[in-house]
Amino acid sequence: MKDKLSTSEEGQRKDMENYYRFQAKIYDATRWIFLFGRFSVIRKIPVNYKDNLQILDVGCGTGVNSKALALQFPNAHITSIDVSKDMLDRAAEKLKPFGDRITLINEPYQSDTKWNNHFDIILFSYSLTMINPQWSELIEQAKQDLKPNGYIVVADFHDTKMGFYKKFMRSNHVRLDGHLLPFLKQRFRPVYEKVKNGYVAVWQYLMFIGKKEQ
């Protein structure tokens, strides 16, 4: 199996655009089977549901989590960003009923100063393990883009002991090396953290909520 982890920012964007050109068509029908933890971690976000929140959904894909966020936080504005136009087109359909409560942006999330201290919540759901090599930079960027006391919320693959599965995931642009959690815990104060087994422990997935304290 060919290792398809990107080694440059530009390569990563192109890989995502190409990969999701076809995958977007089958995404919603297939991913619910194994992308665990997405909705449970959203339900655990410790803020008042009535607040006028600013939320960023990074790598929003087809918009399933943006929809869950919009329903859970009826007064929130959600910015949903994705590098893949094919995925975002599907999100646009799904999120139409929410009107201007959701803004869709077809760009990569990247190092920038435009959103300094702007968001109350930033969600990365199954995007960070595909953002190679720049995943740690974008966690730092999220810290910059969050308001003081804002929350980073992550659901993603964590690790695997099975070499074949690690290789298989790398051939699908996913890095499964237990690398995210230690870095998240170092950069944010953990308020919720759980690692759980996927099917018969072939892989583990993580859920994390961390608070920006300085």
Ligand X SMILES: C[S@@+](CC[C@H](N)C(=O)[O-])C[C@H]1O[C@@H](n2cnc3c(N)ncnc32)[C@H](O)[C@@H]1O
Which span (53-61, 141-149, 161-169, 189-197) binds ligand X, by CB under 6 A? 53-61
Q: How far is the CB of 207 from ligand X (least distance, A)?
A: 12
Tokens of residue 38, six digits: 């997405």
Residues 64-123 touching ligand X, rule: CB under 6 A, are 64-65, 81-84, 87, 108-109
Cα dist from 110 to 74, 87, 115, whole Å = 28, 18, 11
Which span (72-80, 93-101, 113-121, 127-135) binds ligand X, by CB under 6 A? 127-135
Which span (54-62, 67-75, 187-195, 201-209) binds ligand X, by CB under 6 A? 54-62
Q: How far is the CB of 213 from ligand X (least distance, A)?
A: 26
Q: How far is the CB of 74 from ligand X (least distance, A)?
A: 21
Q: How far is the CB of 32 from ligand X (least distance, A)?
A: 9
Angle of helix 9-31 relative to helix 85-95, nearest 10 degrees? 40
Burial of 205 (0-12, 13-18, 19+ CB in 10 A): buried
Q: Which is nearer to ligand X, 109 or 188 (CB)?
A: 109
Q: How far is the CB of 24 from ligand X (least distance, A)?
A: 8
Q: Which is nearer to ligand X, 53 or 104 (CB)?
A: 104
Closest CA to 119 of 146, 97, 139: 146
Q: Which is nearer to ligand X, 67 or 212 (CB)?
A: 67
204 binds ligand X (CB under 6 A): no
Sorted by sequence, the CB contacts under 8 Å of residue 73 that are 6+ apart come out as 47, 49, 51, 53, 55
Cβ(70)–Cβ(98) under 8 Å? yes
- Count of residues engaged in binding ligand X, rule: CB under 6 A: 23
Q: Which residues bind ligand X (CB under 6 A)?
A: 16, 20, 31, 35, 38, 58-61, 64-65, 81-84, 87, 108-109, 125-127, 130-131
